[in-house]
Structure 1
Amino acid sequence: MNDPLLPINSQPKRTKKLLPKVLAVAAIVVLFQLSDGLCPISDKIDPAPYVYDVSKIGQILKDKEYIDEVVERWSGAIQIPSVSNDVMVNPNTTDDLEELYRLEPAWKQFTKLHEYLEKQYPLIHKHLKVEKVNKFSILITWQGSNTKQKPILLTAHQDVVPVPDETLDQWKYPPFSGAVDGDRIYGRGSGDCKDLLMALFETAELLLKEGKFQPQRTILFGFGYDEESQGTGAVELSKFIFERYGPESLYALIDEGDQGYVQQFGRYVIPIPTGEKGHLNSEIELFTPGGHSSVPPKHTSIGIMAKLIDRIESVDFSPAITNANPLMNALQCMAEHGQIEKSLKSDIIKAVFDANANKKLVEYLSKDPSTEFLIKTSQAVDIIQGGVKSNALPEYVSVVVNHRISAEESVESTSKKILDDIKSIATKFDLGIVFENKTIVEKTKNGYFNYVLNESLEPSPISPIDTAAWNTFTGALRYLYEDVMNPGLNETFVAIPAYAAGNTDTKAYWDLTANIYRYSPYIGIVEGEDEVARGIHSLNEWSSISGHMATISFYYYYLQIVDQIADDTLISQ
């Protein structure tokens, strides 16, 4: 992680006025006159020297018979409701599957999905090593011949979010029908994440069917079972892989995340999240004396909790943008390669060492929610409970505040802010405070707050973008978008690091590799066609068939390219 912005106020007084100007001029001259600049573009990789059948890359996108077969298999997987709920019995509770199904009926659908995958992809199950980890996570090993090369891990998850019964009549097609309409396939999980899951199965099965690819680098496919809830499936997989290969043992990990490409500042951009925000649930309880509602205090416990909620929402986290955030590097890429207004470009370049430029950049990013919450910790009051009867004063109220922690913050700094809010209200109403089982303020006759941290996760490490893994991955993506999918466009696509506000299963694999990319090849994403428009976690979830085939086409040649690249070799055309 790079050093954060050094405030100008920390500079010696005699240089405080002069130094920023000198640095600004020097930086602009150096950064823009050096050949590599702020954001070197990875060389495009032509797969012809690496693959045994380069014509197959385009055929995958055009062969109607093959596409129909792929879509039929994809649809069949969507029809299996492998739903994970927030609270589920851990598969390790019992060794008896029938007993586990009795305790948690939802697990039966995962067995059904496994049986379906085995039937649809017989060559994978015949020729590759397929292991079940904690019963329902799947680890597939395609053993390479060169044990000196680090394995590559490709991941997706098998589970999908539930569909509320109250919304069933609002779906265009039944949510587990896998209905096909033009270039779209509809159904829960079609876009998150059975598209990637099935694309990886298709790629491996196709390579095995052709019988020509004999990998030197070991290829691992890891598929967890509860990414949408507890994430234990990926944790168990990570432990299993760690025990087999050891720490920092993988070449790279590629998981779900952003997809395709977008147009920004006049350039075609491939945004690849190289980091994720942290996570925390602040669970706050308030205990107060009860009584009859005919003789109420001025503020019941619900009223006091309302005051706390107002305080939490009124005192926001401060936004910040530093080198610790991949968004800073992404902005630098746009400053170098995009069509950006001159003053904004200057602010981006100087933001890492000039406090005034940094302030203006923060103000610019804070105008749009899509970027505002990439530079500050969020706080969302999502759950509140309290009161049991209309004539009884509530003795207990609880609230859950969800946080996504920015790169510049931590679980500690986030909880401190909330604890300060609680202290402010507790002082006003003469209440005690217990924080993480430790008494901060003694309980009083009026009651006390109990503050507990749950599901805490620090912001992820940031993956480097100056490695062979990054250059090979992004160089191969350039070929897909420039030569295969858009041959007449005559544009250079720019891969940039991005920052993810949500969390993926990658959080379980930090010890295995520094090269973690949360991204899937896809079609271009048009303006406004975000996850909400595609129904991810919502109504009428759909995914593009063309995008699905692009994913298969990419991995078909990428696996052959990365197989022949040494771990420490940079591609240069």
Structure 2
Amino acid sequence: MNFQAYVSLWAACFVGGLLVLYTIYSAKEAVDYMPQCPMVEPYRPSTYLANSQVIDTILHDHEFRNQSLVKLQNAIRIKTETHDDDPATVEDDPEYWSKFDIFESYLRSTFPLFYQNTELHKVNHHGLVYIWRGTNTTLKPLLLMGHQDTSPVPESTLPLWTYPPFEAHYNGTHLFGRGSSDCKNLVIGYFEAAEELMKTGFIPRRTVVFSFGFDEEVSGVRNRNAQWLEQKFGSKSMYAICDEGGVSLTTLDGTTMAVPGTGEKGFLNLWIDLKTPGGHSSVPPDHTSLGVMADLMVKIENDPFPSYFTPQNPTYYQYVCLAENSATIDKELKKNILSSQASPLSNKKVREYIESSRWLKYYIKTSQALDVIHGGSKSNALPEFVQLTINSRVAIEESIHSALEKYLRNVKNVAQKYDFGLSYQLKNEPAVEIFPPTPQGDFLVHTDEYFDVAPLTPINDNHWKIFAGNIKHVYEELIWPDIYQGPNAHNPIIVSPGIAPGNTDTKYYWNLSDHIYRYRPGEYTSVETSAHGVNEWIKFDSHLQIIVFYFQYIQSVDEIDD
């Protein structure tokens, strides 16, 4: 055999061997892969048909719509803004917090049937806890949460609003105003759902608890509702907890998904202080404290946190559900998602796909937002003190300490570059010195506002079957039956676990239940409806969907035993 023939034979054998290995691997992958998406069927209460007229009225009756609209409009018109610099306690300035007395009085006058059938307990003056007693005290209560306060409307943004933020303007389809999306629509929806049930003569077997804080938008530090409930009912005493959050409905690669939050990222507010000698601006150093802090800011932003795509994060299951069930997903993306835990390259490609969107990337990584900087006092005086505020929402796979280590690494590099001292301090702990003070200046990295990643809600049990199944029932069978029923039906809505990039008051309620669902029904996410921003709005149909969802869900969990 000549050399050329030998090379040809060797190449043929090599290629053939690769094909055999590929075939074996592909076959093995097909055999080994087990579906991971926690799929459910629509779940409806047994009263579904008996209450069909009530449901139809909520969704389609013009008079009911107008009455519901007025209830939400009037709630929006009551200003309940909270700010980062609010009085630390209610006792410090009772008059400031009295706006929540006005809001509670409005609830009392608007929902008399609700008040007749529940007990109201005021916690720390303005926290509202309503208890709708069930007839079976052995059943764990269902806890429904929301918050009374809204994010503030800066005066400088008022000219940017199409309609005044507290006018609650309705254009026939959409309602505009601060709190319309976050989250007075949810709070008012709970009251309306409960009253509609009460009108039918429904008496719950399972107690239903409603809990509304009054400072969620400023981290809920005054919220004592969870402590009060734990003292009254005990640890792990709630059947399930529902709050705002999650992704109501979204479309990914042509597939409609609902994504209740079954986990929540950690939270970190970090302050970096820099103190330097002062002096006259006519003889500045090469780098003032503002210049040094600017250097640090650039280094921080040029050193983003890593991304992760692992089963630790409920977002993983969101994409697995998409890959397993979507008929339109890109084939290469589908392959990469389903092989992401076996192939580092596939995992990298999935992360790159998610990170290509600003709106999606922070589901799989820690965010870092450089939000506030203070420094300097006048144009002819060198700044002696500069402070930078950073907010991070910590990835499921990380921790507060790993996030802090990253920021300390950034500050260390700058401190060494300019020969500055460096210390760090956690809440209620003594400062730890890393570099000793120097004549040039000193950094202090400190935080007293943080909490770690939330415990994950189970997703393969009866709790999930009922909650997720109610979402499918409401949207596929009640709201859009023409789309999702019959021979020409669209692909079904996929309900998958997930997270939201932000945080909620549920962080105070972890001891009360292992089953926490962060989900506000509706057609648009809070990001899409400009929550916290100019021209916050909702499509009013979404508010009616909240009412129907909780009208059905309360009955669904009432019919089962723990």
TM-score calculated relative to the size of structure 1: 0.88
User: Measured at CA, do residues 275 and 27 of structure 1 come closer, stay the same or move farther in structure 2, by a change above 3 Å?
Assistant: farther
Q: What's the offset of the Cα at 1:451?
A: 0.8
Query: Match of 1:494?
Result: 494
Q: Aligned equivalents of 2:411 and 2:247: distance in 1?
A: 40
Query: Match of 1:8?
Result: none
Quick check: 1:47–1:54 contact (8 Å CA) kept in 2? no
2:205 to 216, 222, 228: 216
1:120-141 Cα distance to aligned partner (Å, 9 max, x none): 1112222211111111111111
1:349-395 Cα distance to aligned partner (Å, 9 max, x none): 12123222212222222212222222111112111111112222222
Determine if the alignment matches structure 1 residue 543 to structure 2 residue 538: yes
Secondary structure of 2:522's counterpart equals strand
Give the aligned residue type for 2:558: D
Secondary structure of 1:374's counterpart equals coil
Q: What's the offset of the Cα at 1:500?
A: 0.9
Secondary structure of 2:262's counterpart equals strand
User: Measured at CA, do residues 128 and 350 of structure 1 come closer, stay the same or move farther in structure 2, by a change above 3 Å?
Assistant: same
Query: Match of 1:148?
Result: 138
Quick check: 2:38–2:496 contact (8 Å CA) kept in 1? no
Quick check: 2:245–2:504 contact (8 Å CA) kept in 1? yes
Determine if the alignment matches structure 1 residue 557 to structure 2 residue 552: yes
Q: Aligned equivalents of 1:531 and 1:141: distance in 2?
A: 28
Q: Aligned equivalents of 1:227 and 1:239: distance in 2?
A: 15
Query: Match of 1:197?
Result: 187
Quick check: 1:57–1:554 contact (8 Å CA) kept in 2? no
Query: Match of 2:306?
Result: 318
User: Measured at CA, do residues 20 and 323 of structure 1 come closer, stay the same or move farther in structure 2, by a change above 3 Å?
Assistant: farther
1:30 to 7, 29, 32: 32
Quick check: 1:152–1:217 contact (8 Å CA) kept in 2? yes
Q: Aligned equivalents of 2:227 and 2:76: distance in 1?
A: 29
Quick check: 1:410–1:459 contact (8 Å CA) kept in 2? yes
Give the aligned residue type for 1:476: N
Matched length = 531
Quick check: 2:265–2:503 contact (8 Å CA) kept in 1? yes
Secondary structure of 1:213's counterpart equals coil
Q: Aligned equivalents of 1:535 and 1:379: distance in 2?
A: 21
Give the aligned residue type for 2:33: L
Determine if the alignment matches structure 1 residue 256 to structure 2 residue 249: no
Give the aligned residue type for 1:313: E
Quick check: 1:278–1:459 contact (8 Å CA) kept in 2? yes
User: Measured at CA, do residues 402 and 363 of structure 1 come closer, stay the same or move farther in structure 2, by a change above 3 Å?
Assistant: same
1:246 to 234, 247, 261: 234
User: Measured at CA, do residues 187 and 264 of structure 1 come closer, stay the same or move farther in structure 2, by a change above 3 Å?
Assistant: same
Query: Match of 1:570?
Result: none
User: Measured at CA, do residues 396 and 21 of structure 1 come closer, stay the same or move farther in structure 2, by a change above 3 Å?
Assistant: farther
Q: Aligned equivalents of 1:547 and 1:290: distance in 2?
A: 56
Secondary structure of 1:114's counterpart equals helix
Q: Aligned equivalents of 2:138 and 2:25: distance in 1?
A: 45
Q: Aligned equivalents of 1:284 and 1:215: distance in 2?
A: 52
1:434 to 417, 423, 426: 423
Quick check: 1:50–1:561 contact (8 Å CA) kept in 2? no
1:82 to 80, 83, 86: 80
2:293 to 269, 288, 305: 305
Query: Match of 2:403?
Result: 414
Give the aligned residue type for 1:342: K
Secondary structure of 2:210's counterpart equals strand
Determine if the alignment matches structure 1 residue 452 to structure 2 residue 441: no
Determine if the alignment matches structure 1 residue 327 to structure 2 residue 327: no
Query: Match of 1:462?
Result: 456
Secondary structure of 1:150's counterpart equals coil
Query: Match of 1:4?
Result: none
User: Measured at CA, do residues 23 and 507 of structure 1 come closer, stay the same or move farther in structure 2, by a change above 3 Å?
Assistant: farther
Q: Aligned equivalents of 2:521 and 2:275: distance in 1?
A: 51
Q: What's the offset of the Cα at 1:92?
A: 4.8
Secondary structure of 1:197's counterpart equals helix
Quick check: 2:44–2:552 contact (8 Å CA) kept in 1? no
- Structure 1 residues 83-482: aligned runs within 5 Å: 83-93=81-91, 100-101=94-95, 105=96, 107-210=97-200, 212-233=201-222, 235-258=223-246, 260-338=248-326, 339-436=328-425, 437-482=431-476
Q: Aligned equivalents of 1:374 and 1:454: distance in 2?
A: 24
Quick check: 1:274–1:462 contact (8 Å CA) kept in 2? yes
Q: What's the offset of the Cα at 1:260?
A: 3.4
Q: Aligned equivalents of 1:154 and 1:189: distance in 2?
A: 18
Secondary structure of 1:175's counterpart equals coil
Query: Match of 1:522?
Result: 522
Secondary structure of 1:156's counterpart equals strand
Secondary structure of 2:105's counterpart equals helix
Quick check: 1:50–1:564 contact (8 Å CA) kept in 2? no
1:496-530 Cα distance to aligned partner (Å, 9 max, x none): 1122110111111111112111112223x4xxxx5
Q: What's the offset of the Cα at 1:61?
A: 0.8
- Structure with the greater alpha carbon radius of gyration: 2
Query: Match of 2:67?
Result: 69
Secondary structure of 1:557's counterpart equals helix
Secondary structure of 1:60's counterpart equals helix
Give the aligned residue type for 1:563: D
Give the aligned residue type for 2:78: I
Give the aligned residue type for 2:53: S
Q: What's the offset of the Cα at 1:411?
A: 0.7
Q: Aligned equivalents of 1:353 and 1:513: distance in 2?
A: 34
Q: Aligned equivalents of 1:328 and 1:545: distance in 2?
A: 32
Q: What's the offset of the Cα at 1:118?
A: 0.5
Q: What's the offset of the Cα at 1:91?
A: 4.7
TM-score calculated relative to the size of structure 2: 0.90
1:405-436 Cα distance to aligned partner (Å, 9 max, x none): 11111110111111111111111111111111
Give the aligned residue type for 1:62: H
Q: Aligned equivalents of 1:262 and 1:445: distance in 2?
A: 55
Give the aligned residue type for 1:552: I
Give the aligned residue type for 2:31: V
Q: Aligned equivalents of 2:49 and 2:94: distance in 1?
A: 45
Quick check: 2:45–2:559 contact (8 Å CA) kept in 1? no
Quick check: 2:192–2:547 contact (8 Å CA) kept in 1? yes
Q: Aligned equivalents of 1:232 and 1:397: distance in 2?
A: 26
Alignment gaps of 5+ in structure 2: 1-20, 426-430, 484-488
Q: Aligned equivalents of 1:316 and 1:122: distance in 2?
A: 52
Q: Aligned equivalents of 1:123 and 1:328: distance in 2?
A: 43
Secondary structure of 1:228's counterpart equals helix
Quick check: 2:38–2:460 contact (8 Å CA) kept in 1? no
Q: What's the offset of the Cα at 1:317?
A: 1.3
User: Measured at CA, do residues 431 and 458 of structure 1 come closer, stay the same or move farther in structure 2, by a change above 3 Å?
Assistant: same
- Structure 1 residues 52-67: aligned runs within 5 Å: 52-67=50-65
User: Measured at CA, do residues 450 and 66 of structure 1 come closer, stay the same or move farther in structure 2, by a change above 3 Å?
Assistant: same
Q: What's the offset of the Cα at 1:50?
A: 6.0
